[in-house]
Amino acid sequence: MMVFRRLSPPFKIGPVRAAALGLALSAACWSSQAQTSSALLAADPAAPASTAAPLVLPPTGLAKSEERPADVARAREIWQRANERVAEFPRGHIDLLRWEARNPGEAPPAPTGTSAKTAPLDLAQALRLSLRQRPDLFTHAGMNALEMAAVQVACARHVRDVQRAWIDAVSARQSWRQMNELWDATRTGSELGRRMVVAGNWSQARLMREQLNEASAWQMSVKAQGEALAALERLAQLLGVWEADAVSQLGERLPASLPAVPARATPGAGLTEATLEAAVLRADPRLALQRVEAQRELGAVGADRRQVWAAAADAALAAIPDPTTMATPPHIGNLALLRDHPLERAVSAEAQLLRAAGERRSMARQAWAHLQARHAGAVHAQTVVGQLQTALEQETLLRYNGMLQSSWELLASARERMQSLDAASQARRDYWRAQADWQALLSGAEYAGPDTPSNAGAGAANAQAGH
């Protein structure tokens, strides 16, 4: 609102000139606001836009056949030169290939963790940034109880959405890194197979199997990259970040991984399994208002009148010839009963309250069971499957160093471990999403329902494990 200072004498202006001056000042104020408003800049097609970082995909490689040496002398020369190079490295073929891969620098840039120069964007900061873009989720003086309840429920939904988006963005970037590592391991196997074909030790068929492994891992890496970018864009929308370079910086500020899963799944401070349903009922402000209304409507009619309605409803239901077909709805023909409007309002309010309360109690049981199941899955993936896979890889490495296993078994073990790590991170993601759903339910929002278990690692698990 513009505030005009009164001009002291002898400076006097007429009404027309005052109106023109007011319009000029308003235009100047609007122009100043337009220059500083991020929303106006974002919506202006003529506003200069930052350039998004180019999409860098991992190199696809070449699935071409390798020519075998033409004679025995040439094959022996290639074989001796290859073995001399391998002998320079402690772990033979694998160390040699890793050293060569680092020199040309052709590996794709994997998403990094939190930059050392910027503080990580934790969940609390993300929520505060998102609420700045939602003035409709602020309560204010003068609101009635119904308006306050609506804002509370809408705010709980928004908080849940931001929590899910933050969890997805962190988890997707971690999965991208793991899929890049998996692709790097399969590329090592493919390159080793190519050299063995050149040296005359392998057939083209075995090389093609390794190249298929590499191609499958490349597809999973590209898919993980796309999912990470989509999750980041979703989070940026909720936070009001619209510039391309700002979105990239937002990704760099995300933590490298999600918080660790707690040792036990707990419903919350002061809550037990016996009090879960009561807590969920109290959390819904609309249900409390609905209960007060139902009490008022039921108090206006006597129990005998409600009994008459119940008897009429039972008779209408019994008159249906085949309830499974439900060709026609139940019918009540008592006009005197139907014209009892206080009774009609009481019956309707009671039925609506019963449905709402039943739904909230069912949501409480579902959400708590879902949270416990996701917690058990995350703990099992981390403490049982992950530890077994790590121990197996270490045992395979010892046997490889003792020349009891081949390079292919070592590479296959490394790929399996990376798949296990990705499955564990996805299980952790599912737990924190279930936790966000549970907290939203305790804040008055509805239960969104269990998500389909994450299958981001399913493709990796189905990939060929090598030879």
The candidate with the shortest Cα–Cα distance to 172, out of 417, 454, 414, is: 454
CA 465/CA 243 separation, integer angstroms: 42
Q: What is the pTM of this model?
A: 0.75
Q: Which helix (H) or strand (E) holds 245?
A: helix 244-253
| Element housing 43 (H / E) | helix 38-43
Q: Alpha carbon 434 to chain centroid distance? A: 11
- Confidence at residue 465, expressed as pLDDT on a 0 to 100 scale: 38
Residue 396 pLDDT: 63
Peptide bond just before 10 cis, omega within 30 deg: yes
For residues 254 and 211, give the distance between their C-alpha atoms in angstroms, rounded to a whole number: 34
Q: What is the pLDDT of residue 301?
A: 92
| Per-block mean pLDDT, blocks of 10 residues, the chain (467 long) | 36 42 39 58 76 70 52 52 46 45 48 63 94 94 92 95 96 92 81 72 78 87 94 96 90 93 91 93 92 93 90 89 75 86 93 95 95 93 76 64 61 76 90 95 88 42 38
Q: Are 174 and 256 in contact (CB under 8 A)?
A: yes
Radius of gyration of the chain (CA): 33
Which residue type does 364 have? A
d(CA 235, CA 250): 9
Q: Look at residue 85 in the predicted model and tell me its pLDDT.
A: 47
Q: DSSP for 378-443? A: HHHIIIIIHHHHHHHHHHHHHHHHTTSS-HHHHHHHHHHHHHHHHHHHHHHHHHHHHHHHHHHHHT
Q: What confidence score (pLDDT) does residue 381 get? A: 87
Q: In the prediction, which pLDDT does 329 show? A: 84
Amino acid 34: pLDDT: 41
Residue found under tokens 């879960």: 276
Predicted pLDDT of residue 459: 37
Question: Is it true that domain 82-106+114-283+347-462 has CATH number 2.50.20?
Answer: no
Which DSSP letter does residue 324 get?
Answer: T
Residue whose C-alpha is closest to residue 172's, from 435, 453, 425: 425
CA distance 117 to 124: 20
